[in-house]
Amino acid sequence: MNEILNMSMNEMAEADFDCSCGRHHSLPIKKIAIGKGVLKELPGVAAEFKGKQVYMISDNNTWKAAGEKAHAFLVNDGFKVKSHMFETGNEILIPDEAVMGRVLMEMPLDTALIVSVGSGTLNDMGKFLSSRTGVPYIIVCTAPSMDGYVANGAPLICGGRKISFVATLAYGVVGDTDVMKDAPMHMIHAGLGDVLGKLTALTDWSLAVEMIDEYRCDTCVKLVEKALKRCIDNAAALKERNEEAILYLIEALTLTGVTMAIVGVSRPASGSEHLLSHYWEMDFITRNKYPELHGVKVGIATPIVAEIYEILGADIPEATRKLCPKRAFVEELLNSAGAMISPKEVGIERELFYRSLLNANAVRNRYSVFQYAKDIGRLEEVTQKITERIYGK
């Protein structure tokens, strides 16, 4: 039982087991290859589709990072590949209706496999396209920037709002640390922010168990905690692009994705910190402003959520209170890696910040510390205190 706790990351593909939580879990991902130099293993991961049409999507940045080599590995091994690269220049690729329409229009009718080369956006595009066409997809990771590589949700922009669509899990994941260690440092910081968000996500999950008797899988909690520890212990080395630290970062991101996949909900990886991040992002997109990387905003939001728990203090059930990190601890981890800490650093004005704390809980139907603070009549007090600390009186 729970043999998955003793498996390496790459051994977890197609895991299938009866869990101590009382449920049966399975991970339908066929192949996981994460480590040094594994990009060359892509033809082996995709071997089932050799001789059939492969559709590769990338942008100009991810093409340079790994797409060109991935394409060559496949073609040289006898694969038939059509590649579509989005020219974005220095702009961020926004996965809205126009972009998703274009990626579908470029897809050959006889496509048997989709290969996405990228991180957050291109991965979300690939999995959404896969879920709507029934064609499996492989993700070639180019940055350790987020935890969605093995998750089945696809956050896309629709009608100006960020909506997390139910999509599908990847057929395979290829994450080469030789590629990811050279990712823009801002993306590495985003990955660290997303990982640290698990600290408050697990706290929120505990609060939901205590307050509304929500289901929780302790095996998933242990997997996330194990991954968190190694990443946190090596956080400071990320600013040096230390290969071991990068490996622990992508493993932590992937493992939290695995837990979401086997438990069927995003609770192990997403809590109040994600609600804040999504609120800020939707506001920025509505105003045609650059929304900043998801993980960067999650990293900034995490110590804020930790502070909410600190302010509520004894009002929080004891079992949950023991889990939550201190704001200073999270900020020090971010600072040690050179990551941003303040919402002001990403252009979040006082009014938006104040409003986000009051309204973030409406972003998703999920029990959180925001809902708890509202239920006990302390949300406005908490919002005022934190806003004044950051922006002044």
242 and 112: one domain? no
Question: Do both 158 and 192 map to the same domain?
Answer: no
Give me 238's structure tokens: 């990320």
So what's the pLDDT on residue 285? Answer: 84
Q: Which range among 157-166, 170-179, 319-328, 383-392 shows the weakest confidence by mean pLDDT?
A: 157-166
Tell me what the mean pLDDT of segment 338-353 comes to: 97
Could you tell me if 23 and 169 lie in one domain? yes
Average of per-residue pLDDT across 253-258: 90
The answer to whether the pTM exceeds 0.85 is: yes
Average pLDDT over residues 25-39: 94
Residue linked to tokens 């991954």? 227
**Alpha carbon 220 to its chain's center:** 16
Report residue 217 CA to chain centroid gap.
Answer: 20
- Residue 364's pLDDT is 87
The CATH number given to whatever domain includes residue 290 is 1.20.1090.10
Domain closes at, from 132, 162, 180 = 180
- Burial class for 343, CB neighbours closer than 10 Å (0-12, 13-18, 19+): buried
Please report the pLDDT score of residue 5 as a whole number.
86
- Decide which of 130, 164, 180 is a domain's last residue: 180
Torsion on CA atoms 377, 382, 388, 393, rounded to nearest 10: 20
Q: What is the mean pLDDT of the segment spanning 281-295?
A: 88
Mean pLDDT computed over 371-384: 98
Considering the domain architecture, whether residues 176 and 233 belong to the same structural domain is answered as no
- The domain of 49 spans 3-180
The tens digit of pLDDT for each residue in 107-155 reads 999 999 999 999 989 999 999 999 999 999 999 999 999 888 988 889 8
Q: Both 143 and 243 in a single domain?
A: no
The residue out of 180, 204, 234 marking a domain boundary is 180
274 close to 168: Cβ distance less than 8 angstroms: no
Share of the chain above pLDDT 90, in %: 82
227/325 same-domain check? yes
What domain count does the chain have? 2
User: Do residues 85 and 32 share a domain?
Assistant: yes
Reading the block at residue 242, the tokens are: 């230390």
- Average pLDDT of the chain, as a whole number: 94
Task: Answer yes or no: is pLDDT of 1 > 60.
Answer: no
- Say yes or no to pLDDT of 2 above 80: no
The string of pLDDT tens digits covering residues 59-73 is: 999 999 999 999 999
pLDDT tens digits for range 214-250: 999 999 999 999 889 999 999 999 999 999 999 999 9
Taking only the tens place, the pLDDT of each residue in 87-107 is 987 777 889 999 999 999 999
Average pLDDT over every residue of 31-35? 96
- Tell whether 123 and 196 lie within a shared domain: no
